[in-house]
Amino acid sequence: MMKIQSFIVALFALFFTGCAQEFNQVYKSTDAAYKYEYAKEAYAQGKYVRAATILETVITTMKGTDNAQESLYLLAMAQYLDKDYEGAAATFKRYYQSYPRGIYGEESNFYIGESLFKSTPEPRLDQSPTMQAIASFQDFLDLYPESKMRSLAQQRLFELQDKLVQKELYSAQLYYNLGQYFGNCVQGGNNYEACIITAQNAIKDYPYTTLREKFAILIMKSKFELAQQSVEEKKLDRFQDAEDECYGFLNEFPESKEAATAEKYIAKCKEVVKD
């Protein structure tokens, strides 16, 4: 049994050594046509790293030939399929800038956005890449309104916008959690006011978000807490504002799990306002 296993290991080692030698031979070759055919075959076999590596060495040589467009597009796709999304986005953009009316123009324009989409960070992080992906998909929809990829591009836009909304929710929740801590309020104001403003702006910017109720809960709770900590000259107005907010919340979300909280707040606000 041990002999059989050793034989198999030796076969694999020989196979991979042969493959490596073949790749090195192709890589060092000065025959662009030969290298291009090898890259295409590697791509077809799903060996995207090899394909991309060889294609990068022949792109300049292929410029002006019949294979110029295909070689650049294949490089971008190899990078994309190898999950090198940053490199793919740059190469797809390079293709589209070089051949805006090329045979792969529509696909390349779409995959600029798709590559950026794949590389966007989770919502808690900086969302600049998300904004770039949104802009790219919007450009695609403007340029190709009848594209067969239109519905997917629109879906991606919704997903990217949801990520921006989630980012705002994290920010609003953080302000609420900080509460009466003033160490971060270097320019005046307080965290409850910051929470209210952040949540209200998110609802205004994304009125149909599925997270609308969560923003509304934060606004309601923050207004009540803000009233609780107010100085006497502001207390009455703020409790009245908090009460109105609670009624508005119950009207919009009567089945909310926070409905009881709204009712409790209303009762407390009435005690202050009545006095």
Give the residue with greater pLDDT, 26 vs 155. Answer: 155
Q: Is residue 12 over pLDDT 90?
A: no
- The model's pTM is 0.80
pLDDT in tens, 203-214: 999 999 999 999
Give the separation between CA 1 and CA 128, rounded to whole angstroms. Answer: 57
Give the separation between CA 160 and CA 116, rounded to whole angstroms. Answer: 10
Q: Are 140 and 110 in contact (CB under 8 A)?
A: yes
Of 13-22, 110-119, 123-132, 193-202, minimum mean pLDDT range: 13-22
The residue assigned the tokens 């005046």 is 188
Q: Are 262 and 246 in contact (CB under 8 A)?
A: yes
pLDDT grade for 22, boundaries at 50, 70 and 90: confident
State phi, psi for 98 to the nearest 5 degrees: -80, -35
Assign 66 to helix, strand or coil: coil
Amino acid, single-letter form, for residue 167 = K
Q: Are 218 and 242 in contact (CB under 8 A)?
A: no
Assign 195 to helix, strand or coil: helix
pLDDT in tens, 44-97: 999 999 999 999 999 999 888 999 999 999 999 999 999 999 999 999 999 999
